[in-house]
Amino acid sequence: MTSIRLSALLLTGAALAAPASAQDFNAAPPNAADQQPAFEGQTRAPVLEDEVTLDRAVVAEGLDHPWGMDQLPDGRLLVTERPGRLRIITPGGEVSDPVEGLPQVDARRQGGLLDVQVRDDFDVTRRVWWSYAEPREGGETGTAVATGLLSEDGSTMEEVEVIFRQMPGWASTMHYGSRLVFDGSGALFITTGERSLPEPRQLAQDPATHLGKVLRIDPMGGAMPGNPQIEGGAPEVWSLGHRNIQAAAMGPNGALWTIEHGPRGGDELNRPEPGGNYGWPVITYGIDYNGSPIGNGETASPEMQQPLYYWDPVIAPSGMAFYEGEMFPDWQDSILVGALAGQALVRLELDGTSVTGEARYLQGQGRVRDVDVAADGAVMILTDADNGELLRLTPSE
């Protein structure tokens, strides 16, 4: 275990590779300089003066682009690797061989094996859910979700069923979205991307498709009762107008929260309401990668929802958890989110649905792909690299 000093205002340590100081993140100029927030506090929240000393333990290393994780009741973690491998990692750092029996994945570019989830009754059911980029005919791919029973020895996934296939498929290897979250009623939320290319991007506004949506399904397949009735919409659709949601979690009040990737600017924090339209690609706080406007360059429309918070420049969000542990009492009910481009663990303080402060930790130490909170309150993160790591963060004594 190595101990380093981390602070929202200062980051020091001999092993660090000259990361930017934490206060710099609000000093960077926005990409969409002419755009203005719709309300005070919608972007660039005050930097939190939160000094904390952490112990940073490498639980496992040598992982090949790990993407998602979830905890088993005995403290072990299920961890996905994008090339298509699901592994079990013990608290002591023992990494299993790949679990056999999973469907084939398309691991090109942003595809592969993605998120993984279990429910509290895993000890009884042995049931696991996971999402992945599914190869289809004609070079098309799409987000898919499967479920199966993990064998008692943890070596094999049995009785595998595909319970969801994003429609339509598309000849794209980008923007699969793909976080999985269970709600309090037992329904399974699935987040999807709009496949990035200019043509499928428009389908984020088409409720009959699964592109750029939050979906709510029965864990064994099919739409869940209680979904909104959207005219012309697929029965699984909960909300629409999303770009590429790679962060999602249930909040303390039982509502779903999501964070999606924007283009150059416009990463968004939302709390998707049933039937809500979140604007993409009609409105966004950002510009295209070539510097041109998205659509007409609009940031607001009367029929579309505003994000609760947005980033410009982007952090490239992936993985999200609400902190409700005991190790970091000052972090209670904060949102923890991984930053890929931002190379940081980001913490947001909230007052209801308003972001009142932001802090960043581990700046410059790698792309953070997923975040979770262990049963004992430690913060677990995955770094996205061909030598990815599972890290455990605890306060120093």
Cα 258 from Cα 308, distance rounded (Å) = 10
Sequential DSSP letters for 40-64 = TTSBSPPBP--EEEEEEEEEEEEES
Tokens of residue 255, six digits = 């509502």
Sign of the torsion formed by the C-alpha atoms of 95, 98, 103 and 104: positive
Close Cβ partners of 121 (under 8 Å, ≥ 6 residues apart): 127
Cα 358 from Cα 223, distance rounded (Å) = 36
Are the C-beta atoms of 57 and 1 separated by less than 8 Å? yes
Distances from the Cα of 67 to the Cα of 177, 235, 245, 341, 388, angstroms: 12, 28, 14, 15, 10
Residues with a known catalytic role = 175
User: Under DSSP, is residue 141 helix (H, G, I), strand (E, B) or coil?
Assistant: strand
Cα 9 from Cα 20, distance rounded (Å) = 11
User: Under DSSP, is residue 36 helix (H, G, I), strand (E, B) or coil?
Assistant: coil
